Amino acid sequence: CWATFEKMVAKEKERMQRKQKMLDKKASCESGKACHGHGQGTFFSKCDLEWNCKTSCTCKCNFGYGGKRCEILGTCPNTKGIEGL
């Protein structure tokens, strides 16, 4: 009985570690850290009951930044509108 209990405790510990890993990814994404500090991250995850998760972080870059993780400075889509001023 004790051996079964120890296995259950070890399994629960692993499950909680997976949960914490997912929560850490969420915090990193939403803090903007995943977007190099130049945008806001939107986090998405899909987890099963054992906290096996598929996650993604999508960045909405601040003005003047681009790239998948807002790592590129000076990406302006169109500057022709200000030439005549």
What is the pLDDT at residue 76?
53
Q: What's the average model confidence in pLDDT over 58-82?
A: 75
User: Would you call 59 helix, strand, or coil by DSSP?
Assistant: strand
Q: What is the DSSP letter of 77?
A: S
- Percent of the chain clearing pLDDT 70 (strictly above): 87
Cβ count within 10 A of residue 41:
22
Per-residue pLDDT band for 82 (boundaries 50, 70, 90) equals very low
Half-sphere exposure of 28 (CA within 13 A, CB side): 12
Whole-prediction pTM: 0.73
Q: Which residue has the tokens 């079964």?
A: 4
- Percent of the chain clearing pLDDT 90 (strictly above): 75
Please report, as a single letter, which amino acid is at residue 15: R
pLDDT at 83 over 70: no
Q: CA geometry: angle at 62 spanning 84 and 56, to 5°? A: 140
